[in-house]
Chains A and B, each alone.
Chain A
């Protein structure tokens, strides 16, 4: 239950977010399209191109500049709150990059849009690019296309490196400068995102659980849960299958809140295994049914699970619907660990959080 409580806590912290995306998994270019998919929303239509551009730039910067070994607080995040989007990046840089970045950022933030454009054209003309593709030009473009200053923060890691964190803020109304009072300050975001990181969370998404998003999440999960143990195939399968059934449960049973089914999905990794957790509103009147279903599932013993799975699958096969009604039984028999679940109420109704540990060794 300890893990599940974390999800509830972060759900509360992110309650005003239309979309929250937090990622601290493997950083490679294969993930950029998936991140973009997860942040697509009709509210972002007007600035869709800028959003994709900025996400790709920021994500690729982490990929390009990351150290060989995984570093603490390597994080990519996007939050969509009210009319504003906030792309956040956190990664470790060496001291030489630090001194360049520090000066460039200061310089860029002091310039007005016209000066930024002038500087941009000058750099293009001079053809001065840094060894790794021109950090200066990248930052300049970020400032221009977000139409807002870049918020940033450096903090010490060790004698050779600094933690470099920056945030791009922009409005869903193209070109609009965000008023001081509406700002999400980078310090607030750092506190929250590092807290999520410290809870061993690799990936967290809050948003619409439409089909395309569900598939993007599954791609991300699959790539970040490869086992190195001797039962590799079996273990990879267990995580993936659990994720599929939990996510599809949200899309099938989640309560429609004005045109979309909002849910939360998170992947944690700790010493005992991977922990998958979901959160979503359930339809009115399903409280008892859901509670009863989870209690039953948790009470089955090993052999029962196999028997109940086959019996239910056979019985339900006659009915005409997408539901086989065995998804969670199936998950439970592979993982053996019981489900954690909790149902709370708030303004939107009943909110279900459910999680399950997929142990490294069975």
Chain B
């Protein structure tokens, strides 16, 4: 039943885009996101810009923590990059929850209703 709790992650090295979509509510979010955070570190070793593209219907609080850890890598002045936060148009909470992450982090957010 992992498809119920884990999002789909796509990493595009050539364009510098990583996308996280679906539902993120696993109990061990730290283990799940560890490879992605390591990939981001490695990618940023030789690249300046990274776009993190979220398209989620739901995430739990331990996923929120992992998102902050991932996005905060872009807070370093030597990097450019942004977060694209896609949310279902009728789902105001997913928009709000993106806005909350934006408030915590010093990284540009772009919001797109879908």
Contact = CB atoms under 8 A, between A and B. Distances in A.
A322 B28 contact: yes
B92 A322 contact: no
A151 interface: no
A322 B30 contact: yes
Contact of A324 (B4, B26, B31, B62): B62
A244 interface: yes
A317 B72 contact: yes
Given A241-B60, A244-B60, A310-B100, A212 B65 contact: no
Interface residues of B, number: 26
In which size bucket is the chain A interface?
A: 20 to 34
Contact of B69 (A234, A251, A317): A317
Interface string B57-97: 01011101100110010000000000000000011110000
B25 interface: yes
Interface in A202-258: 211-212, 214-216, 218-219, 233-234, 237, 240-241, 244-245, 248, 251-252
A86 to B, nearest CB: 26
Nearest to B101: A313
A327 B25 CA distance: 12
Contact of A215 (B5, B68, B72, B93): B5
A313 B1 CA distance: 28
Contacts of B68: 313-314, 317
Nearest to A251: B27
Given A245-B61, A248-B62, A317-B68, A322 B4 contact: no
Contacts of B61: 245, 313, 324, 326-327, 330
13 contacts: A214-B27, A219-B4, A233-B90, A233-B91, A237-B91, A241-B58, A241-B60, A317-B68, A317-B69, A317-B72, A322-B62, A324-B64, A327-B61
